[in-house]
A = this chain, B = another copy of it.
């Protein structure tokens, strides 16, 4: 049933890319205009109690995820159901009163008051950007928050302001300490964004600290493909290439024990340092995830003139991008390049939403008394 994947010719990350690229074809989708998606998401969030600013920020987050990634990957419009459920059960407080509990020269701590994670993280990054403008570097953390969405989205905020941004969060336990099979640490994703000159897309690295994710394992399983043996363990801690056998086991960290260390340190820089939950406790109680995030912004101006930084950055990028590809049809790409190119294409041709999600959104809209205002894109032919 499971064959060893073609490991000698297809690097596992490329295999992953190939599979995710096929999602558009495998899932039945409808395509909507980006503006109608933004408007609809805002209406839904407002109906759930979010104020205008919260609705705008959170809608931007799920629209961006839908632009960057594939329907069914779990970060796009399908996330609205979870937000709705938790805004209704009190796990997420709309119109939350967030407050700054500590403020230093180049650091600050925001208490998110169980508010929307996208909103809290955005405010923290904005504060870090402002502080780094004066201090050169700043680190702003958030406690008592919720799922913050895409790490790379928050890092990009800094790049849009011309700074280097780093965003990280803790998350529910899916990774075991190295040598154990008991999940204690989260995938604890990092986003790092670097601004480029002349209106070019920023570099956006967005990565969980696990080698892969359960969603990707499910795709391989359905496709009858084996997975690389460094993705996940069985619940007993055995290596396996069978996605099914590892579905209830721990995800393996990037770089084996290295990713374990990085995830541990991330939990310290977020959960431990802020006063939120950490380890196996965070993200467990549907009524109180109590997540923590940490944002770092770096002003390149503190180190060299802007024009010189941009020139040097482009020299490095040119060296990277001209490295000859192993597969002549797949040139080297920058982190975030595929996502941003995909986003531009979808802005023109419509943003795919899988039909199951669309049906659910119709129900949700009816339930909330909100007009179902997603506008399909006419196929330009």
Residues of A bordering B, CB below 8 Å:
7-14, 16, 102, 104-107, 109, 134-139, 141, 164, 176-182, 184-185, 192, 194, 203, 205, 207, 209, 211, 228-230, 233, 236-240, 252, 254-262, 264-265, 267-269, 271-275, 278-280, 296, 298-300, 302-304, 308-309, 312-313, 315-316, 319-321, 323-327, 330-335
Interface contact A262-B205, CB-CB below 8 Å: yes
Interface contact B332-A179, CB-CB below 8 Å: yes
Q: How far is the CA of A105 from the CA of B139 in the complex (A)?
A: 13
Please name 19 pairs of A and B residues whose Cβ atoms are closer than 8 Å in the assembled complex, sorted by A: A7-B239, A11-B252, A13-B178, A107-B302, A109-B303, A178-B332, A179-B325, A179-B332, A181-B324, A182-B323, A194-B268, A203-B265, A230-B230, A255-B259, A264-B320, A267-B316, A272-B309, A275-B304, A278-B315
Q: Which residues of B contact A109 (CB under 8 A)?
A: 303
Residue of B nearest to A134 (CB): B105
Interface contact B107-A135, CB-CB below 8 Å: yes
Interface contact A323-B176, CB-CB below 8 Å: yes
Interface contact A180-B316, CB-CB below 8 Å: no
Interface contact B326-A298, CB-CB below 8 Å: no
Q: Which residues of B contact A296 (CB under 8 A)?
A: 137
Q: How far is the CB of A346 from chain B (nearest CB, A)?
A: 22
Q: Which residues of B contact A327 (CB under 8 A)?
A: 179
Residue of B nearest to A274 (CB): B303
Given A107-B302, A254-B259; 14 other pairs, CB 8 A cutoff: A105-B105, A135-B135, A137-B137, A179-B325, A180-B325, A181-B324, A182-B323, A184-B319, A194-B268, A207-B261, A257-B335, A267-B316, A269-B298, A272-B309
Interface contact A194-B265, CB-CB below 8 Å: yes
Q: Which residues of B contact A300 (CB under 8 A)?
A: 273
Q: How far is the CB of A65 from chain B (nearest CB, A)?
A: 18
Q: How far is the CA of A37 from the CA of B84 in the complex (A)?
A: 65
